[in-house]
Amino acid sequence: MSDAHTEIFCCDALRAVAVELPDPAAPTIYVSDSGVTMVVVGLLQTEDGLGYLDQAIQHCPFCGTKLQDAEAIAEKVSH
């Protein structure tokens, strides 16, 4: 993960989940191309390859630090 995305790490637990899990689970928490912090909540093997369901997160699931708000998410994903 690039140094530009290290600001999403508010605690050691979040850093471990985002960078230390083995494939195909890694990264579970990541910053999308549009700049939104996301968490993968489900994986499914399909005929076309691995599919996943992800969700934008507003607060760290480990320490509760606010990472982004709904307005910031909406601005980043609106076209």
Predicted confidence at residue 66, as pLDDT, reads 93
Kindly give the confidence (pLDDT) of every residue in the chain, 79 residues in length, as a single tens digit, with 9 standing for 90 and above. Answer: 444 444 667 888 888 777 766 666 666 788 888 989 888 888 888 899 888 889 999 998 899 999 999 999 999 988 5
Predicted confidence at residue 77, as pLDDT, reads 87
Torsion angles phi and psi, residue 46, rounded to 5: -120, 175
54 - beta bridge partners?
40
**CA triplet 25, 30, 32: central angle to 5 degrees?**
120
